[in-house]
Structure 1
Amino acid sequence: MNKTIKKVAVLGSGVMGSRIACHFANIGVQVLLLDIVPFELTDEEKKKGLTKEDSLVRNRIVNQALQSTLKSNPSAIYDKAFASRISTGNFDDDLPKIKEVDWIIEVVVERLDIKQQLFEKVEKYRKPGTLITSNTSGIPMHMMCEGRSEDFQENFAGTHFFNPPRYLKLLEIIPAPKTNPEIIDFLMDYGDRFLGKETVLCKDTPAFIANRIGVYAIISGMHTIEKMGMGVSEVDKLTGTVIGRAKSATFRTMDVVGLDTTVNVANNLYKALPDDESRDKFKLPKIVEVLYENKWFGDKTGQGYFKMIRHKDGRKELKEIDFETFEYKDVEKPKFKALEAAKEHENLKNRIKLLVNFDDKAGEFYRATFYDLFRYCSNRIPEISDELYRIDQAVCAGFGWEYGPFENWDILGIKDTVSKMEAAGEKPASWVYEMLDAGHESFYKVEGGKKCYYDIPSKSYKAIPGVDEFIILDTLKAADKKLWGNAGSTVYDLGDDVIGLEFHTKMNSMGQEVIEGINTAIGMAEKSHKGLVIGNEGGNFSAGANLSMLFMFAGDQDFDEINLMIAQFQNTMMRARYSSVPVVVAPHNMALGGGCELSLHADHIQAHAELYMGLVEVGVGLIPAGGGTKEMTRRFANSVISGDVELNQLQEYFMNIAMAKVSTSAEEARNLGYLTNQDGITLNRKRQLAEAKAKVLALHESGYTQPVQQTNIKVLGKTSLALFEAGITGMQYGAYISEHDAKIARRLAWVMSGGDLSSPTEVSEQYLLDLEREAFLSLTGEKKTLERIHSILFKGKPLRN
């Protein structure tokens, strides 16, 4: 189906509606956001003499909702300027405008009667063939489109975004009884390619896939927690990142989302599922029911499983609920032998195996909750999905899990786990036994370089649709595509004569192993390949340079070693920039310090839309010295407009580094000068490496020529030094920065000005690199710099001294 989406109408401006509108604006689509006309004037409107006919009144609800969303943190929009793509109005005056749009998305309150009334009005103005979808989280599709025209029903489906739609990757697509299959294919593809979503095809069953499984896991888990007598902090310690789930774990997540939201889904599921064998698990245990009845819903009501106490002296103190008394008590700091043992395992799969099989209270909890969920998911096929991989996709994308239920089952070993499940009274569905009897002992496997899933009807393995368009490093590993590796990095064959370099250190920090990996990969690419992609599938691209070795050398005042270390880092960055083959870097999430510097030196950056990039070295008492200061000075020099603007632009780049500014999106990284207009942005993280590879091939095919180092970088010498000094002195006098902050800023100003030159002068990149290294070395000898590094390394938080 050849459809182009230029303009979308979003009907309903509440929390979801306004955020969906923002996400469409993020990708360049024009949005019409509509809501109801207020029933009454506010006191403020009365004082202004306004009437119900004034547009300010009639559009008050929609405008207030949108402004609230635009002020939200984290932001719903990549760049505040993109808000201009959203126009607002109301259902009474502006609904006729929907005839101009290509897609209508309904996001009003979850009441069937209200949705049906709105759809009746929509039919009066909607032009035939226009997409019409509902963001319902549970109302059946067939009920919503009853009584509508054939054209409406053929173009109608469910598009269930998860909140917040910018950050949560799941988009469930639910066909209605008469939906044209081509419409579903279009929505699946558009959500993936343009909205950056994990699009999952669902059946029209209660709560679809993600909420059916995710809410079951939560409420069923609550029954286990209550039975085992576990506390809030104990559970959150066990259910967060240690097992590959959200940092906010269980109870903190419920407080943020709102307990009422989870309970409403659970109650609705209990009513809608009379034949579910685990229906009673959706009943609320006491540890949920008491809070719900008290309306302690979490952050929105000021208290939930946690409560922040604000003392008169300004102190804040976090408390947690006591499940014995249902009063608040001090937050506990639980310890488990299993978690202590797990610290030895950086690899998540190995950690999960250890934790679930550990002989202590933590292991008992994991076995109870994992085995119960495995059984439940096995029984949901084919009820909610014919394919098991869709359940994993939906839960991971909707709830932020690293691995879904069937993936976790694979990690633990299906055959062995089934025996343990039987012993625990959690016998899985019969098809699992049939699979094992046929000699198949995993739900997933890699065949012919493709990730495949076990298909139950055919009792064979089939390739997961669409994944052949992605580059998945785990799949390359399994397909024996590794070409080289050390403890911190691996080189893979990405196909088509392109190789890829992956980091896999803690937080993907850049130490000696990564530097060796970069140099080795470039050498391999230059020898026999068309180019190199540097990227990874970790939680972050790179949190920056490994500070441990620097701290040790600085503590010993071994400045010769520091000098060599920084020179090697600089030479590696420059090699990335001036190699004889194209080098494309694919940063995502955090790309800080050295991770940012490596990106800055690439031939091309293929960034993920969620990119938090910045040169943050001042936070540890240093300046960027892996070419970061040099590169921003070079970029300034190559883009300046002569006159006053020249100094203003240089000052902007200086402040970005001096204030350690980090972008909140790839679009903002472009505004900060870290990305150029030629660099690319990928919405769907799973497509990022493939698009980076495509860029390598495009650069190669266009006749890539090895660049030559620049020797004509214009620096301003005393002119800019004077400007910087005035600003630094003013900040210091105003007590905005400390004495040590001022010292760091002056070193930075020295480098970006090219030193104390009497007039503007053209210098080379190496000249600036040498200034960078000298400034960095001098700062490593400062006691207060060592204190800042120590605080980051041993306390995990920045120090301002």
Structure 2
Amino acid sequence: MSAKRIIKKVAVLGSGVMGSRIACHFANIGVQVLLLDIVPKDAAADKRSRNKLVDDALAAALKSSPSPIYLKSFAQRINTGNFEDDMPKIADCDWVIEVVVERLDIKQTVFENVEKFRKQGTLITSNTSGIPIHLMAEGRSDDFKKHFCGSHFFNPPRYLKLFEVIPTADTLPEVTDFLLSYGEKFLGKTTVLAKDTPAFIGNRIGVFSIMSILHYADKTGISVEEIDKLTGPVIGHPKSATFRTSDVVGIDTMVHVANGLSANVPDDEAKDLFVVPGFVSKMVANNWLGSKSGQGFYKKEKVDGVNQFYALDLKTLEYKSSQKVKFPSLETTKTIDKLSDRMKVLFAAQDKAGDFYRAIFYQLFAYASNRIPEISDQLYKIDAAMNAGFGWETGPFEKWDALGVEDTVKAIEAEGYKPAQWVYDMLQSGAASFYKVENGKRLYYDIASKSYKIIPGTEDFIQLDNVRTTNTIWKNSGTTITDIGDGIINLEFHTKMNTIGGEVIEGINKAITLAEQSYKGLVISNEGANFSAGANVGMIFMMAVEQEFDELNMVIKAFQNTIMRIRYSSIPVIAAPHQMALGGGCELCLHADKVVAHAELYMGLVEFGVGLIPGGGGTKEFALRLSDELQEGDIELNNFRDRFLTIGQAKVSTSAYEAFELGYLKKGRDMVVVSRNRVLAEAKKQCLLMAEEGYVQPVKRTDIRVLGKQALGLGYVGANSMLSGNYISEHDVKISQKLAYVLSGADLSQPTLVSEDYLLNLEREAFLQLCAERKTLERIQSILKGGKVLRN
């Protein structure tokens, strides 16, 4: 059954914050969606009035930031309706997802109505986060029960990767398997099989972690700012850490889940931790619920027109100016890039930070181990849930592995906690870690068989972390070249923010040389937080300040030559970007033979923000693409204006699909993959396909049609009118004129055919001239010092 099941249309019942955004994410992947909700009280008889609640909810979702949808036009895939008039339409749906209010009686009423209209074999799932799944199916038919289970998305559904699938005793195994596969492959989720236990996996462990920190703060007096410093990026957790995350989620929501756990886990050895501390109860009574009420653990106020940030003193419940905090141990780890190495230092620290880590995480390790087999039979599912649902770089067992399992067991016991017996049995059997890598695949310790097994579903993934140790063929300080099999090699960057400097340029050239000599093709991808934040502007700044313009000219030319080598090598080069691909990172992608992009792609030529124009082939490439478009009979100056504004306004895509609209990705050439885990495997597949179909080395272009003075005039007039309206500064006008000059091919008297080299020379000359401007240097300095765009 699962092999034949295709999801063409989904019904989402309930259009609140979760329902509307789940609908948007299905629309993101091309599925038709029917979004239904109740008819408002006293609604008039007309359709618009009866659908007002659902239509308003969807409109609010589409206006929200960050956007729940890849491209605004995708919202056309969502049709709205109401439970009274439109429920019969679910007969055409392949999957019905319930997302109504968290009350069992209401959910049961909805499912009774669903059963009247659904066709046999249709999937029915509930997005509940707290109500036992089996209770919702009581009284339903056998076919309903066989196709019913929990499908818990985390909010916001587009961005948070966790998707928990919770079957009941009646759910068909093939239904469970289908949802786990579909969630990963098509929705781009980390799918985790959970048991029908309170709060499932993610929230059971996540809320335990938050509650243990709240009780620790209550007991020790450690401040809100100190805890957020300790539980953020330094340990591989999100910047929002603990208290900022609580403010965003809503303190009432957190309390609701904690209260539910406190009431429903009588046999939990740590059940007392789920009782909220007094200060949290007072915050809820005061309506200090976080972002939604304007204040929670933090609040922001305007004082004399300037934003001031305040943090709550948990003892006095008074707000005080938010303080920057420092810990000696954190200072010592600033130079340690590898998270596992950093954690060893932090946990061994003899200061307030070390005390906190040992108290909180040793308790968490013991708790997580004791939840097996209660909430999950396999340890990797707990780590996966924390990675995907809470944004932790490493889950409890991965952290424990980094510290050494056996040594940490003794430390846990010293803190007064006891891991589960299976951990002692594992060590007794000779297994020393929860995970290990063999033959490029990651294995986990399977408790039942006391052996290591490959993590199910990962067989089709290529993970560089798993193949790098044995398959590295070359590396320098900023790049690594890895053989990923079948004659394809991969180049990854690992500089700070994956910026492009001398070591990356060397790596790109080396990778192309190696591929041309001995391999079929090259993929450029990495597993960093971002593909590339662009060129190393610090290096450009230093050279410009020292007025070393001959050297700077050589550096820019070397970058241009490298980018052009990507385009004109004798082997296919595939770029596989994700998250940020800015400036030079974007230019690299513009010149690849094909781009296999992750759906979450924030791509753009952003050099204008630092007082420059794209100087690594980006301006040239926009002129080239404009020329190719003009041959298709488009209105010349309109197209020129669009390209000019994309660079001039430093537009960045909010998804890979928007990158097509902005002209950074090419329709018919580039492609999008929604599952982050599958991007590299797909890029390798496309590279191999191009190689085996007989890749032909391209010839440098000499037929680029540029518009000359007519386009140059448009650029000048547009910039001056923006200046007159006080939209841009005089320096912005100067940059705009340089940009228009290169895009139009200089002040030629009529449209002319020129070469890529001609445009690259214009581009480099304009870039260098702008580097000599004091206001450009001020802009670069502002970015380097505080990450702020200066409009001088």
TM-score bin (small chain): over 0.9
- Indicate the residue corresponding to 1:429 in structure 2: 420
8 A Cα contact 2:162 2:191, kept in partner = yes
**1:760 maps to amino acid:** P
Is it true that 1:58 corresponds to 2:60 in the alignment?
no
**1:434 maps to amino acid:** D
- Indicate the residue corresponding to 1:399 in structure 2: 390
Listed one character per residue, the Cα deviations across residues 14-52 of structure 1 (whole Å, up to 9, x for unaligned) are 0000000000000111100000011135xxxxxxxxxx2
Quote the Cα distance in structure 2 between the aligned partners of 1:167 and 1:117: 31
8 A Cα contact 1:489 1:504, kept in partner = yes
Quote the Cα distance in structure 2 between the aligned partners of 1:228 and 1:176: 42
Question: What do you get for the CA RMSD once the two structures are aligned?
Answer: 1.1
8 A Cα contact 1:392 1:407, kept in partner = yes
SS in 2 for 1:468: coil
Matches within 5 A, 1:625-704: 625-640=615-630, 645-677=635-667, 678-704=669-695
Listed one character per residue, the Cα deviations across residues 308-367 of structure 1 (whole Å, up to 9, x for unaligned) are 1234x4332211111121011111111111121111112222222211221110111111
373-382 vs 431-440, which moves further: 431-440
SS in 1 for 2:459: helix
Quote the Cα distance in structure 2 between the aligned partners of 1:426 and 1:766: 68
Q: Give the CA deviation at 1:387.
A: 0.5
585-594 vs 226-235, which moves further: 226-235
8 A Cα contact 1:202 1:209, kept in partner = yes
- Indicate the residue corresponding to 1:38 in structure 2: 40
Q: Give the CA deviation at 1:228.
A: 2.0
Structure 1 residue runs without a partner (length 5+): 42-51
8 A Cα contact 2:521 2:691, kept in partner = yes
SS in 1 for 2:412: helix
**2:490 maps to amino acid:** G
Matches within 5 A, 1:495-574: 495-574=485-564
Listed one character per residue, the Cα deviations across residues 259-278 of structure 1 (whole Å, up to 9, x for unaligned) are 11111111001111000011
Is it true that 1:303 corresponds to 2:305 in the alignment?
no
Q: Give the CA deviation at 1:127.
A: 0.6
408-417 vs 642-651, which moves further: 642-651
- Indicate the residue corresponding to 1:239 in structure 2: 231
SS in 2 for 1:495: coil
Quote the Cα distance in structure 2 between the aligned partners of 1:644 and 1:8: 38
93-102 vs 339-348, which moves further: 339-348
Q: Give the CA deviation at 1:643.
A: 7.0
**1:424 maps to amino acid:** E
Structure 2 residue corresponding to 1:596, chosen from 586, 594, 603: 586
- Indicate the residue corresponding to 2:20 in structure 1: 18
Listed one character per residue, the Cα deviations across residues 252-295 of structure 1 (whole Å, up to 9, x for unaligned) are 11111101111111100111100001111111123322212222
Listed one character per residue, the Cα deviations across residues 502-547 of structure 1 (whole Å, up to 9, x for unaligned) are 1101000011111111111111111111101100111000000011
Quote the Cα distance in structure 2 between the aligned partners of 1:444 and 1:705: 44
TM-score by length of 1: 0.97
8 A Cα contact 2:439 2:467, kept in partner = no
8 A Cα contact 1:175 1:204, kept in partner = yes
Quote the Cα distance in structure 1 between the aligned partners of 2:385 and 2:230: 22
Quote the Cα distance in structure 1 between the aligned partners of 2:79 and 2:383: 37
Quote the Cα distance in structure 2 between the aligned partners of 1:641 and 1:148: 62
8 A Cα contact 2:123 2:148, kept in partner = yes
SS in 2 for 1:720: helix
Quote the Cα distance in structure 1 between the aligned partners of 2:424 and 2:279: 36
- Indicate the residue corresponding to 1:48 in structure 2: none
**2:335 maps to amino acid:** E
**2:408 maps to amino acid:** T
Matches within 5 A, 1:331-370: 331-370=322-361
- Indicate the residue corresponding to 1:756 in structure 2: 747
Stretches (4+) displaced over 3 A: 641-644
8 A Cα contact 1:222 1:287, kept in partner = no
Matches within 5 A, 1:740-779: 740-779=731-770
- Indicate the residue corresponding to 2:73 in structure 1: 81
Structure 1 residue corresponding to 2:790, chosen from 776, 784, 799: 799
Quote the Cα distance in structure 1 between the aligned partners of 2:162 and 2:632: 48
Q: Give the CA deviation at 1:422.
A: 1.2
TM-score by length of 2: 0.99
- Indicate the residue corresponding to 1:49 in structure 2: none
Listed one character per residue, the Cα deviations across residues 375-416 of structure 1 (whole Å, up to 9, x for unaligned) are 000000111111000000011100011111000101111111
8 A Cα contact 2:522 2:571, kept in partner = yes
8 A Cα contact 2:8 2:94, kept in partner = yes
Quote the Cα distance in structure 2 between the aligned partners of 1:696 and 1:416: 45
Quote the Cα distance in structure 1 between the aligned partners of 2:439 and 2:467: 10
Structure 2 residue runs without a partner (length 5+): none
Quote the Cα distance in structure 1 between the aligned partners of 2:216 and 2:81: 48
Quote the Cα distance in structure 1 between the aligned partners of 2:766 and 2:338: 38
Q: Give the CA deviation at 1:226.
A: 1.9
Matches within 5 A, 1:424-463: 424-463=415-454
Quote the Cα distance in structure 2 between the aligned partners of 1:688 and 1:287: 46
65-74 vs 448-457, which moves further: 448-457
1:642 to 1:734, Cα distance in 2 relative to 1, 3 A: farther
Structure 1 residue corresponding to 2:725, chosen from 731, 734, 749: 734
Q: Give the CA deviation at 1:137.
A: 0.7
Listed one character per residue, the Cα deviations across residues 152-189 of structure 1 (whole Å, up to 9, x for unaligned) are 01111111000000000011011121111111111111
Q: Give the CA deviation at 1:785.
A: 0.9
Quote the Cα distance in structure 1 between the aligned partners of 2:775 and 2:302: 33
Listed one character per residue, the Cα deviations across residues 649-690 of structure 1 (whole Å, up to 9, x for unaligned) are 111111110110100000100100001112110101111111
Is it true that 1:198 corresponds to 2:198 in the alignment?
no
SS in 1 for 2:305: coil
Is it true that 1:615 corresponds to 2:605 in the alignment?
yes
SS in 1 for 2:6: coil
8 A Cα contact 1:717 1:758, kept in partner = yes
- The number of equivalent residue pairs is 789
- Indicate the residue corresponding to 1:785 in structure 2: 776
SS in 2 for 1:70: helix
- Indicate the residue corresponding to 1:282 in structure 2: 274
- Indicate the residue corresponding to 2:704 in structure 1: 713
696-705 vs 209-218, which moves further: 696-705
Is it true that 1:209 corresponds to 2:201 in the alignment?
yes
- Indicate the residue corresponding to 1:178 in structure 2: 170
8 A Cα contact 2:437 2:443, kept in partner = yes
Listed one character per residue, the Cα deviations across residues 228-251 of structure 1 (whole Å, up to 9, x for unaligned) are 211111111111111111111111
8 A Cα contact 2:202 2:389, kept in partner = yes
8 A Cα contact 2:366 2:420, kept in partner = yes
- Indicate the residue corresponding to 1:476 in structure 2: 467
- Indicate the residue corresponding to 1:92 in structure 2: 84
Listed one character per residue, the Cα deviations across residues 559-596 of structure 1 (whole Å, up to 9, x for unaligned) are 01000000000000000111111100011100000000
Listed one character per residue, the Cα deviations across residues 778-797 of structure 1 (whole Å, up to 9, x for unaligned) are 11111111111111112222
- Indicate the residue corresponding to 2:372 in structure 1: 381
Quote the Cα distance in structure 1 between the aligned partners of 2:7 and 2:143: 18
8 A Cα contact 1:586 1:689, kept in partner = yes
**2:36 maps to amino acid:** L
- Indicate the residue corresponding to 1:251 in structure 2: 243
Q: Give the CA deviation at 1:629.
A: 0.3
Is it true that 1:314 corresponds to 2:316 in the alignment?
no
Q: Give the CA deviation at 1:746.
A: 0.5
Structure 1 residue corresponding to 2:456, chosen from 459, 465, 470: 465
SS in 1 for 2:157: coil
Q: Give the CA deviation at 1:644.
A: 7.3
Quote the Cα distance in structure 2 between the aligned partners of 1:578 and 1:229: 62
8 A Cα contact 2:379 2:397, kept in partner = yes
